[in-house]
Amino acid sequence: MCGKGLLAALLLVCGWLIPGRMVHAAPQSPPNIVVIFVDDLGYGDIGPYGAVKQKTPALDRMAAEGLRLTSFYSAPVCSVARAQLLTGCYGSRVSVPGVYFPGSAQGLNPAEKTIAEYLRERGYRTACIGKWHLGDQPEFLPLQQGFDRYLGIPYSNDMQRRALTGGEGVVPLVRDNAVERLLKDADQSDITRLYTAEALQFIRDAGDQPFFLYLPHTAVHTPIWPGPAFRGRSANGRFGDWVEEVDWSVGQILDELRARRLESRTLVLFTSDNGPWLIRGADGGSAGPLRGGKGSTWEGGVRVPTVAWWPGRIPAGLSCDRIAGTIDVLPTCVELSGGTPEPARTLDGRSLVPVLFEPAANGATEQGGRDWHAYFSGYNLQAVRRGPWKLAVAAQPATATDATDNPQVIPRLYNLETDRGEQRNVAAEHPELVRELQVLAEQVVAEIGGNEPQQRRPAGSVKQPRTLYPVEEPEAGQRKAATAGPFRALELTEPRNGLSLSGRNAPQIAGRAFRIQLQFQRESESGVLAAQGGTAVGWSLWLSAGQPVFSVRMGETLLEVRGPQTVAGRMTELTAELQADGRLRLTVAGEQGVERAGAGVLQRQPQEDFCVGTDNGQPVAQYAAGEFRGRIQRVRVTAP
């Protein structure tokens, strides 16, 4: 559905245009609303969803007294998930495709209307406590997006920068609009306790006024820092320890609501921003029965453990498998507050009020909720789901279960009702259904996907971005022309697929021409050979239908050169260059290179990892950031 048709469908399903539909009126006094948003928590990481190595008694009780939403979708990575939750829109609609880094010039556009802004208009007190990650410029911080107060680390806890004073890697703890103090790694062990204490105080301060508490935890993103009282408690190492501390925090919030007799007029929603970061090993969590993890559009990357709790209003001890997600949180909160979303502002989500109050009712279109969902990686639509049927329309990252299903085949159709692990492609058995879902995918792309969408709204942008505290590296806004700094070369022999190097261990290429030489032997036609960077700046060498592609991104500009077809099973040498005048050059097996004009060298150092055989962050170009299938014999990054 596109344009006005999509908006009309949203209004129709939410019940505003359906004559005779059962109306789920908001309570006479608007309820308090608490959203607990955990970072990188996988589908199999809490007790109500099958975890046994870490104990989660508070969440077990919450699920027993509430409702499990078992087909609840977020996004592949951090910033997108937060934009979706707060705006009711896919990240692609509001121009939040990936992850924001410290000092980025872009963030969530202040012109977007967030849950906090809607609820504040309805008389709510609002607070954001935790990881913001929608831009760290003053224009983008929570107090400019509808929140009365803020305390937290404004981005991921691994985005340390070396402070100008002291020279150590730190992240800022921000209160409202100012840095309160700088946190070293070990200081993060107190962060969950700090967030919890601040959240409890906010609830106490609210008095009789309705409140909206948005609690996006820093946990359980790496580096893993459970508090001292929780270290060694679980049977799942420090990751399980931190999950248990998050569970303690949930228990503290629910106990406070009970003690103040607020449970009967408070909705609490517990969920996660994306799936587990599997490449982090023991620190990465579990997707349980689902395939894939963070960074992917497999179910394990975007379907997240979710529990809704409101004693006396939400039926206790049930599960609901209807399609829902972070994009539905805004319309749900607005309806509960007695408000109405602005008709001129297109939303992708729908109110879950009927789903929450009548989870056993049949039929999404009659009882509320959505009957389809779009799976985006950046601006690239990779799959759509309608009812139980999920159609992959792009190659997806390789996983440990590829022996039973090739993720490079397009299209692929899965019945998630009988195959939630996405093991059996049944596209050949249902050609008419495949075509119907392809049409849906084409409509979604035309509206908000790809490079020429009809209805994408702009991101927020500032001209002179600065980091929140003085750092050793030049700040983004202070970079004039790119200057050649110290170049860090790299040579790897027989590197394993999935190898990643971060920070100063990665090739230092800002302001410099560089050359990548790579020898490989492929088994499949697609996959990432090497990459460094993401949706802001970076480069990638990857395969498309057996053809090598060299992609270079500089903000909104993406340049590419493609080489000739390579032969499976044959060792092939590539040389890719970004030259000093900005030209891209790609040479394959010694043949005459392919060139195209460019836009200069990279103006700043890519913030994402340097990866071999995969891309563990947001992709530089429109490819599935999955693991290469084959052998990589040598990788060299040098100055020409």
Q: What is the pLDDT of residues 313-356, one digit of tens each?
A: 999 999 999 999 999 999 999 999 999 999 999 999 999 999 99
Transcribe 491-516 into DSSP letters: EEESPPTTEEE-GGGS-B-TTS-EEE
Distances (CA, A) of 576 to 376, 378, 584: 29, 25, 7
> What's the confidence (pLDDT) of residue 138?
96
Q: Return the structure tokens found at 389.
A: 């049927």
Our answer to whether residue 611 is catalytic in this structure is no
The pLDDT tens digits for 328-337 are: 999 999 999 9
Would you tell me how many other CB atoms lie within 10 Å of the CB of residue 599? 14
CATH number of the domain at 482-638, out of 2.60.120.200, 3.10.20.340, 3.30.450.70, 3.40.50.300?
2.60.120.200
The pLDDT tens digits for 417-444 are: 999 999 999 999 999 999 999 999 999 9
Going by DSSP bridges, is the β-strand pair 490-493/460-461 parallel, antiparallel, or unpaired?
unpaired
pLDDT (average), residues 436-461: 95
CA distance 501 to 304: 28
Question: What separation, in Å, do the N-terminal and C-terminal C-alpha atoms of the chain show?
Answer: 50
Out of 78, 89, 128, 320, pick the active-site residue.
78
Q: Over the Cα atoms of the chain, what is R_g?
A: 24
Distances (CA, A) of 501 to 312, 532, 544, 615, 628: 51, 9, 24, 11, 17
- Band (pLDDT 50/70/90 cuts) for residue 368 is low
> What's the confidence (pLDDT) of residue 326?
98
In the predicted model, is pLDDT for residue 22 greater than 70? no
pLDDT (average), residues 544-571: 86
In the predicted model, is pLDDT for residue 480 greater than 50? no
In the predicted model, is pLDDT for residue 543 greater than 60? yes
pLDDT (average), residues 555-561: 74
In the predicted model, is pLDDT for residue 539 greater than 60? yes
Q: Return the structure tokens found at 434.
A: 């495949």
Higher confidence at residue 242 or residue 595? 242
Residue type, 157: N
Average pLDDT, the chain: 88
Strand partners, 541: 530, 550
pLDDT (average), residues 68-90: 97
In the predicted model, is pLDDT for residue 215 greater than 60? yes
pLDDT (average), residues 154-171: 91
The domain over range 32-379 is classified in CATH as 3.40.640.10:
no
DSSP code of residue 71: T
CA distance 5 to 1: 6
CA distance 551 to 531: 9
What percent of the chain shows pLDDT beyond 90? Answer: 67
> What's the confidence (pLDDT) of residue 402?
61
Q: Return the structure tokens found at 141.
A: 């911080």
**Sequence spans of domains, the chain:** 32-379, 482-638
> What's the confidence (pLDDT) of residue 363?
46
CA distance 140 to 135: 5
- Band (pLDDT 50/70/90 cuts) for residue 381 is very high
Q: Do the domains 32-379 and 482-638 sit in the same CATH topology, yes or no?
A: no
- Whether a cis peptide bond, with omega within 30° of 0, leads into 548 is no
- Band (pLDDT 50/70/90 cuts) for residue 226 is very high
Sheet holding 572-578, edge to edge: 490-493, 630-638, 514-522, 572-578, 584-588, 594-596
- Band (pLDDT 50/70/90 cuts) for residue 512 is confident
pLDDT (average), residues 488-494: 86
Residue 149 is inside which H or E element, if any? strand 149-152
In the predicted model, is pLDDT for residue 7 greater than 60? no
CA distance 450 to 164: 40
pLDDT (average), residues 256-272: 98
Out of 14, 89, 128, 133, pick the active-site residue.
133
> Which residue in 82, 149, 81, 144 sits closest to 110, CA to CA?
144
- Using a CB cutoff of 8 Å and minimum separation of 24, what contacts does 22-27 make? 22/354, 22/367, 24/335, 24/353, 24/354, 24/357, 24/358, 24/368, 26/335, 26/336, 26/337, 26/338, 26/353, 27/265, 27/313, 27/336
Our answer to whether residue 133 is catalytic in this structure is yes
Going by DSSP bridges, is the β-strand pair 557-562/547-554 parallel, antiparallel, or unpaired?
antiparallel
CA distance 288 to 571: 37
The reply to whether the predicted model has a pTM over 0.85 is: no
In the predicted model, is pLDDT for residue 18 greater than 50? no
